[in-house]
């Protein structure tokens, strides 16, 4: 059988990690990022924040065309505070100081707009990091990896050396909860494993 290379899904995200995760389950995508203000609203809970952004991305991407569009957002949360991407080395160090030697939450919201309407899920995982000496934080910043990562580290990359424990979904921490996403995509008629729609 010849696999069907046509994209069945519009991905409203520029994240190479989300594209790679979808490819890992055989979902063909057309990348069509949307530009949104990702600033949390006053008093907005982290779970509400990631779900709002995921919905807004899916709806904005869907408006540009395509039968099914996926939007997602991931945040790192410590003591109820959302940690975004580091602005500079000092900001990255401050975030890692907040996370080192303790557990934090990683919340990923996913929304898919398609024939079944707008379907959403939010997955919460807990990650524990070891103590991280200041010199190691500085060395890590110089690798370039944390520059565009929520919370200032990447569990799937060099930052994995900091992680002592994970409760929940590894793929959600990377950027997309594959089990939950696959369930939503099936409901929207998107084939997995790069198989044609039957």
Active site residue 56: no
Catalogue the E-assigned strands of the chain: 9-11, 29-31, 69-78, 81-83, 103-114, 117-129, 163-167
User: For residue 162, what are the contacts with CB-CB under 8 A and spacing of at least 6?
Assistant: 96, 100, 129, 130, 132, 153
Question: Which of 56, 73, 88, 98 is an active site residue?
Answer: 73
Pairing of strands 69-78, 103-114: antiparallel
Q: Is 129 within 8 Å of 98 (Cβ atoms)?
A: no
Decide if 38 contacts 53 (C-beta within 8 A).
Answer: yes
CA neighbor of 111 nearest in space, from 59, 75, 71, 60:
71
Nearest partner of 70 among 181, 189, 197, 173, judged by Cα: 181
Q: What is the Cα–Cα distance from 119 to 117, expressed in whole angstroms?
A: 6
Give the residue numbers annotated as catalytic, written as ranges.
Answer: 73
């Amino acid at each position: 059988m010849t696999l069907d290379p046509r994209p069945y899904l519009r991905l409203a995200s520029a994240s190479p990690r989300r594209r790679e995760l979808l490819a890992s389950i055989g979902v063909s995508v057309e990348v069509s990022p949307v530009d949104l203000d990702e600033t949390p609203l006053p008093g907005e809970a982290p779970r509400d924040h990631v779900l709002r952004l995921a919905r807004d991305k899916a709806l904005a991407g869907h408006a540009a065309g395509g039968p099914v569009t996926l939007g997602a957002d991931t945040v790192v949360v410590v003591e109820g505070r959302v940690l975004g991407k580091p602005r500079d080395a000092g900001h990255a160090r401050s975030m890692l100081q907040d996370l080192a030697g303790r557990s934090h939450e990683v919340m990923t919201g996913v929304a898919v707009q398609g024939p079944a309407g707008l379907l959403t899920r939010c997955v919460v995982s807990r990650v524990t990091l070891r103590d991280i000496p200041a010199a190691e934080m500085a060395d890590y910043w110089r690798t370039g990896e944390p520059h565009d990562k929520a919370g200032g580290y990447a569990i799937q990359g060099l930052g994995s050396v900091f992680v002592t424990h994970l409760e929940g979904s590894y793929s959600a921490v990377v950027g997309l909860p594959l089990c939950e996403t696959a369930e939503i995509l099936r409901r929207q008629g998107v084939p997995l494993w790069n198989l044609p729609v039957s």
